[in-house]
Structure 1
Amino acid sequence: MDGAFSTTDLHRLDEAIRDARFAAAAPASVLLSPLAPHGEAAALTERECVFDHCAVLLFPTTLAEGLRHLRERGLAPLPTVPSTVVRGRLAERHGLDPAQCEIHITRLRLELPDGRRHAAVEVFLFPRDSAAFGERIEAVETTAGFENHTAYVVGRPSAPVLRRLVTAWQDEAGLLWEGGGHNPHEGGPAGSTVLYFVRDERHPALRRRFELHCAGDQREATADLPRSAQAVRRAYRAWPAAAQDTARPTTG
């Protein structure tokens, strides 16, 4: 590998940038599809949420080299913050010690079709010089894209709104609610809460993971909603096989 990123990672970064520009202008009915007819998922999402970002996990030679490459491309990476939730997801998936799993988050500012300049690509950086890095981890994550997702921000989060969104996304879009996490390092003094969703393998689509972001600690708002850990595990077990048949979206 001659530069900060592998050729594969550079291609995946370009895909994430194209995808974010598309998603910024696309209606929720397109991004969430397929949807059950006559439901409220799309309208509720349009009313209560705004598209925020698409995400990708990359493996730079070092954190400094990765950020330098992004700056030299004119992508204006924001200052990094440590990952809490993705670090935990990777540690669980690969049997890593979370304390050794060095994951950094940055955002890339893009010129969007509506004229906004917005930090519309979230990049998780797992440096190759991290103690927990391994080529097997890189191969699995690069092939499957488990951390690729499309994210919305909930404008005015409240328990009723969040509960309706979780229920509508599950019942009408086939998006299984995985749970959520609170990151005290992002989103202001109170941090931010993220709710995670994975596509039920019985409702295949190009976009396989979604997130809802909310300011503050909103974990109690949805704590008692039902979650099927078995269905989530089944969706992830089916993911590698499905990934062979479904290309990563660049225009939809």
Structure 2
Amino acid sequence: MRSVEGISEESAFSGADLRRLADTVRDARSAWTASASSLLAQVETGGDATFLTEQHCVFDHCAVLLFPRTLAAGLHHLHQCGLAPLPTVPSTVVRRRLSERYGLDPAEASIHITRIRPELPDGRRHASVEVFLFPRDSAAFDPVIEKSEVTHDFEQHTAFVCENPSAPVLDALVTAWRTEAGLLWEGGGYNPHEGPHGSTVMYFVRDHAWPARRRRFELHSAGDLREFIARTPQDTEAVRHAYTAWHRTEHATHL
């Protein structure tokens, strides 16, 4: 079987992608019974970050970016594995982030998102894994991008849903995540098409000084919370430094 760029003519994904997918599915399955301190990592069990997360949030999903040979081949593989992928939609957020990171033309970056539904420990199926698919036949695909993303997992994240997103709850929760969990605020966005009143997602990346496997987090809430996002200053310079240090650290470990 001939192999090209680490992926065979008959395979949908490279070996590295298959390992990363398996790791993400395993993380999502274990997250349902894990404590908030374990999910946030490196957080004091009795602190506000743990208490507020457990009091007001539920785990929603883990996420991974994969590079299938084609979109159809990738989805077929997920179906064949019994992961029951939901219909795909264009992923505008990840397309924007990758375009900014690698100088891509967004119009040529064909990136799609699906949710897969692995079986949980109690036998239920839940759409607890978010998969971003950047097909290798996309006009914007470059093996350099794949190598960088597979090495650094910039788009890998753990997401929670805040079930009572009042201003006092969000103020306390975001403050605790930033001060106790070493998370830097990347801002957020509002999607008017998700849910009856739209939904808001907030992005966080872990400070590079915190040695933890989970580095990016999302906080999802129902409704339009753009006012909260606008009045919460972003850690712009610290976020930039975190990604730079993250890249530098990972590069050193692979030399």
Report the TM-score when normalising by structure 1: 0.91
For the 8 Å contact 1:4–1:66, the answer to whether it is kept is yes
Q: 2:252 & 2:20 partners in 1: Cα distance?
A: 17
- 1:121 to 2:129 alignment: yes
**One-letter code aligned to 1:211:** E
For the 8 Å contact 2:105–2:140, the answer to whether it is kept is yes
Indicate which of 6, 14, 18 corresponds to 2:26: 18
Indicate which of 81, 84, 104 corresponds to 2:89: 81
Match of 1:199 in 2: 206
- 1:63 to 2:71 alignment: yes
Gaps of 5+ in 1: 248-252
Q: 1:246 & 1:204 partners in 2: Cα distance?
A: 13
Deviates more, 1:215-224 or 1:70-79: 215-224
Deviates more, 1:47-56 or 1:94-103: 94-103
Match of 2:152 in 1: 144
* Secondary structure of the corresponding residue to residue 5 of structure 1: coil
Higher relative contact order (CA 8 A, sep 6+): 1
For the 8 Å contact 1:25–1:114, the answer to whether it is kept is no
For the 8 Å contact 2:47–2:180, the answer to whether it is kept is yes
> 1:240 offset after TM fit, Å?
2.2
CA distance 1:246–1:179, change in 2 (3 Å): farther
> 1:14 offset after TM fit, Å?
0.6
> 1:42 offset after TM fit, Å?
0.7
For the 8 Å contact 2:44–2:50, the answer to whether it is kept is no
Gaps of 5+ in 2: 1-6
- 1:213 to 2:213 alignment: no
**One-letter code aligned to 2:225:** Q
User: Percent of aligned positions with the same letter in both sequences?
Assistant: 65
Q: 1:238 & 1:174 partners in 2: Cα distance?
A: 15
For the 8 Å contact 1:206–1:246, the answer to whether it is kept is no
CA distance 1:41–1:181, change in 2 (3 Å): same
> 1:159 offset after TM fit, Å?
2.4
> 1:162 offset after TM fit, Å?
2.0
> Computing the radius of gyration over CA atoms, which structure comes out larger, 1 or 2?
2
* Secondary structure of the corresponding residue to residue 202 of structure 2: strand
> 1:217 offset after TM fit, Å?
2.7
> 1:215 offset after TM fit, Å?
2.1
RMSD over aligned Cα atoms: 1.9
* Secondary structure of the corresponding residue to residue 57 of structure 1: strand
**One-letter code aligned to 1:63:** L
> 1:144 offset after TM fit, Å?
0.5
> 1:81 offset after TM fit, Å?
1.4
* Secondary structure of the corresponding residue to residue 43 of structure 2: coil
Deviates more, 1:157-166 or 1:143-152: 157-166
